[in-house]
Amino acid sequence: MIKHLKPEPMIMAVLNEIKSSLPNKTVQNLTELIDHNEPGVALEVLCAQIFEYGLELSCVNKSNLKEAARLMNIPFLQLEGLADAQFYGLGKSD
């Protein structure tokens, strides 16, 4: 169950799951974007990195990505690097 009402904690949960698979500078940049109230940009960059590195997410964090996008009114399929969102099991919203 998703318990956050803001996108920032959801994005950070995803980042925390995969940060060991990303360059330190990328993790730092994503954290700074979130800290400076740029969650939309952070979400786009994070999704691009997930796609670029071929990372897999837990079911909870797949839901976190989808919900963070919904909360910010970002069409999930339009996120950079995720044109094939079906790959992540995150296709059309329910």
Residue 93 lies in a domain: no
Residue 2 lies in a domain: no
Residue 1: per-residue pLDDT: 46
> How much of the chain exceeds pLDDT 90, in percent?
51
Instruction: Output the CA–CA distances (angstroms, integers) from residue 11 to 2, 37, 43, 86, in the order listed.
Output: 12, 12, 7, 20
Domain count along the chain: 1
Q: What are the pLDDT digits (tens) for 7-52?
A: 999 999 999 999 999 999 999 999 999 999 999 999 989 988 998 8
Residue 55 lies in a domain: yes
Residue 62 lies in a domain: yes
Residue 21: per-residue pLDDT: 95
Residue 91 has pLDDT above 80, yes or no: no
Residue 43 lies in a domain: yes
Residue 40's domain comprises 7-17+24-88
Residue 3: per-residue pLDDT: 57
Residue 56: per-residue pLDDT: 86
Give the separation between CA 15 and CA 22, rounded to whole angstroms.
Answer: 9
What average pLDDT is seen over the chain?
83
Residue 40 lies in a domain: yes
Residue 1 lies in a domain: no
Nearest to 47 by CA among 7, 86, 2, 82: 82
CB 57 within 8 A of CB 17: yes
Buried residues in 56-86 as b, exposed as e (16+ CB within 10 A)? ebeeebbbbbbbbbebeebebeebeebeebe
